[in-house]
């Protein structure tokens, strides 16, 4: 690990993103991904190829299949929230297009979600 | 796998041998800090509330004061408080268990803080000398109670570091030890999975009810969980909802049956995996584990989190490669090779189990070396 101080450096035969459960419609990218890159994604035990439609910060989620507004987002094979806008395959999935289904006052994302989207567009998002 | 620990008269096994200077109220807090600061190796815990506590606050205060004093990592306790009556119940419990202690109140010292300082200093010194006679001896994994924590998480926590802790949780539970998962709000969205592992339908109900109570409290307070839990730091790192965070967080609990739900700071009544209904914020949460009898806590982080328990060595585990490299001298266990795929989580669990036994046997954690520890008891409502 110490020989690889940059988390974006990965072995060429490894995958770029992982979805632990084959039912998942999002995957976590294991390095920062640029728009237009073709990724190798581990979905359950399968390897699939997908082109990123947007920049995805390190450890953020990429959409694996077109998701309609209102559809559940599945990670670990379990719902982690709902799309509140259509999410095309290959784009960044985060607080700007999904929200929790729990403890909601009105079902919409809070102002913080929108602020974070702006932050994520500017930097790699791996830490602060 | 064995470790070397301090065998206490009440049958528990400590992994440290502290003098605990425990102020059970706020009036003697400054004196407790002064005295502990003057005695090498003493650990000071101040519970700053006492007078006027009612209901769940009173119960949690008393449970935690006792739980911290009888934690097996404590070799001797110097109790400080306002009056002898406030210390009586604790003294009796410690005496019954044969645990070394001395109690001193402001009343005992004529409300003269110079007198209290001098007397407590002498008493504390004698307790340390007595406690230092204890020797470590082999102890089985079944003697351990471990608390499972995550803080300042990122998606690497849920993918790697928390499942890695889950492997340790399974090992300790299988060996006959006790494992505690707290942070109730971080079961939200995963509570059906925890309830599915409950020993009885009643335990399953208790789990779901505990989550619903916190969820209702958030709604009634008008709090948007987005920005509260997940925190702004979690969100920036890539966690989008409480459900996503919870599914990663509960992976710490491994796969074994959940024996029951315990109250904050309550000792699990048997071996195996238990869930504790408690606040998620690390300072309160860790103290709950320690008051419940945990000698060790395992604490994963994604972006970095220096906070540790004062009394129980807290093993910091991180799987984020860049942050492991960046936070040298703070992360006790680098799990990033499981993130990069160079090693399996199962293989890494073997190494972590060894590290855990080393630390239980006396190897220092970075948090201990740096003095990042504290103990904080939860509050529930208003005092009178």
B67-117 pLDDT, tens digit per residue, is 999 999 999 999 999 999 999 999 999 999 999 999 999 999 999 999 999
DSSP letters along chain A, please?
A: -TT--STT---TTS-SEEESSTT-SEEEESS-B-TT-EEEEEETTEEEEEE-SS-B-TT-EEESS-B-TTPEEEETTEEEEEESS-B-TTSEESTTTEE-SSS-SSSS--HHHHHHHHHHHHS--S--
A14-28 pLDDT, tens digit per residue, is 899 999 999 999 999
pLDDT at res. A13: 53
CB neighbours of residue B110 within 10 Å = 9
Q: Looking at the complex, report in whole angstroms how far the Cα of residue A26 sits from the nearest Cα belonging to chain B.
A: 12
Confidence of residue B355 (pLDDT cuts 50, 70, 90): very high
CATH (one of 3.40.50.720, 1.10.1240.10, 2.30.130.110, 3.40.50.300) for A17-122 = 2.30.130.110
Integer Cα distance of B251 and B249 in angstroms: 5
pLDDT at res. A119: 37
Provide the chain B residues 226-255 that lie in CB contact (below 8 A) with chain A.
Answer: 226-227, 232-233, 235-238, 240-244, 247-248
Q: How high is the mean pLDDT of chain B?
A: 97
Please report how the helices B282-291 and B55-69 are oriented relative to each other, as an axis angle in degrees rounded to 10. 60
pLDDT at res. A128: 33
Q: Do residues B140 and B117 lie in contact, with contact meaning Cβ atoms separated by under 8 Å? A: no
pLDDT at res. A14: 82
Among residues B191, B342, B218, the alpha carbon closest in space to that of A11 is found at B342
In this structure, what is the dihedral angle of CA atoms B116, B119, B121, B122, given to the nearest 10 degrees? 180
Lowest mean pLDDT among A72-76, A101-105, B195-199: A101-105
Q: Looking at the complex, report in whole angstroms how far the Cα of residue A55 sits from the nearest Cα belonging to chain B.
A: 13
Sheet with A78-83: strands ordered across: A72-75, A78-83, A98-99
ipTM value, please give it. 0.91
Say if the Cβ atoms of B237 and A99 lie within 8 Å.
no
B176-191 pLDDT, tens digit per residue, is 999 999 999 999 999 9
Mean pLDDT of B49-57: 95
Integer Cα distance of B99 and B97 in angstroms: 5
Q: Do residues A97 and A82 lie in contact, with contact meaning Cβ atoms separated by under 8 Å? A: no
Q: Which letter does DSSP use for residue B273 in this model?
A: E
pTM: 0.93
Please state the separation of Cα B35 from the chain's center in Å.
24
Say if the Cβ atoms of A95 and B232 lie within 8 Å.
no
HSE of B259, CA atoms in CB hemisphere, 13 A: 17
pLDDT at res. A106: 58
Contacts of B302 in chain A (CB under 8 A): 59
CB neighbours of residue B197 within 10 Å = 19
Q: Which of B225, B244, B340 sits opposite A1 (nearest CB)?
A: B340
- Would you list the domain boundaries of chain A? 17-122
**A54-to-A25, B127, B272 alpha-carbon distances in Å:** 16, 64, 46
Q: Do residues A88 and A51 lie in contact, with contact meaning Cβ atoms separated by under 8 Å? A: no
pLDDT at res. A46: 93
pLDDT at res. A104: 79
B280-292 pLDDT, tens digit per residue, is 999 999 999 999 9
Mean pLDDT of B257-265: 98
A47-70 pLDDT, tens digit per residue, is 999 999 999 999 999 999 999 999
Provide the chain A residues 27-56 that lie in CB contact (below 8 A) with chain B.
Answer: 28, 30
Mean pLDDT of B32-59: 96
In DSSP terms, B148 is beta-bridged to B181, B298
pLDDT at res. B146: 98
Provide the chain B residues 247-306 that lie in CB contact (below 8 A) with chain A.
Answer: 247-248, 302-304
């Amino acid at each position: 690990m110490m020989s690889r101080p940059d988390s974006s450096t990965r072995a060429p035969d490894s995958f770029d993103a992982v979805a632990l459960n084959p039912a998942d419609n999002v995957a976590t990218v294991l390095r920062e991904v640029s728009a237009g890159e073709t990724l190798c994604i581990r979905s359950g035990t399968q390897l699939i190829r997908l082109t990123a439609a947007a920049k995805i910060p390190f450890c953020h989620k990429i959409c694996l299949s077109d998701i309609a507004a209102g559809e559940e987002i599945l990670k670990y094979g379990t719902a982690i929230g709902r799309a509140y806008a259509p999410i095309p395959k290959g784009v960044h999935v985060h607080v700007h297009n999904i929200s929790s289904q729990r403890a909601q006052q009105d079902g919409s994302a809070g102002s913080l979600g929108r602020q974070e989207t702006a932050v994520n567009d500017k930097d790699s998002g791996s830490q602060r | 796998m064995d470790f070397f620990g301090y065998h206490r008269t009440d049958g528990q096994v400590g992994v440290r041998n502290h003098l605990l200077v425990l102020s059970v109220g706020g009036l003697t807090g400054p004196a407790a800090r002064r005295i502990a600061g003057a005695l090498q190796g003493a650990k000071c815990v101040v519970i700053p509330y006492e007078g006027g506590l009612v209901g769940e606050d009173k119960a949690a205060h008393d449970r935690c004061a006792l739980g911290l004093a009888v934690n097996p990592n404590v070799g001797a306790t110097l109790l400080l408080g306002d009056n002898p009556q406030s210390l009586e119940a604790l003294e009796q419990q410690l005496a019954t268990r044969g645990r070394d202690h001395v109690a001193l109140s402001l009343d005992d010292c004529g409300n003269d803080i110079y007198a209290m300082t001098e007397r407590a200093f002498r008493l504390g010194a004698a307790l340390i000398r007595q406690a230092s006679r204890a020797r470590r001896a082999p102890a089985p994994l079944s003697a351990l109670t471990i608390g499972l924590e995550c803080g300042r998480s990122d998606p690497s926590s849920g993918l790697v570091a928390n499942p890695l802790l889950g492997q340790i949780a399974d090992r300790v539970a299988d060996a006959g030890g006790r494992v505690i998962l707290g942070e109730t709000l971080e079961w939200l969205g995963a509570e059906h999975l925890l309830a599915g592992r409950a020993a009885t339908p009643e335990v399953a109900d208790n789990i779901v009810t505990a989550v619903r109570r916190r969820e209702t409290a958030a709604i009634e307070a008008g709090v948007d969980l987005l920005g509260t839990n997940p925190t702004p730091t979690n969100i920036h790192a890539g966690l989008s909802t409480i459900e996503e965070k919870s599914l990663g967080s509960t992976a710490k609990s491994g796969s074994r049956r959940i024996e029951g739900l315990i109250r904050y700071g309550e000792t699990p009544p048997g071996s195996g995996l238990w869930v504790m209904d408690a606040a998620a914020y690390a300072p309160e949460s860790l103290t709950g584990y320690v008051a419940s009898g945990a000698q060790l806590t395992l604490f994963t982080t994604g972006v970095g989190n220096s906070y540790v328990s004062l009394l129980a060595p807290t093993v910091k585990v991180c799987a984020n490669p860049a942050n492991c490299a960046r936070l040298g001298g703070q992360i006790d266990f680098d799990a990033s090779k499981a993130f990069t795929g160079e090693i399996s989580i199962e293989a890494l669990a073997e190494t972590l189990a060894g590290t855990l036994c080393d630390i239980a046997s006396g190897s220092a954690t970075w948090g201990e070396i740096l003095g990042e520890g504290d103990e904080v008891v939860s509050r529930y409502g208003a005092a009178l």
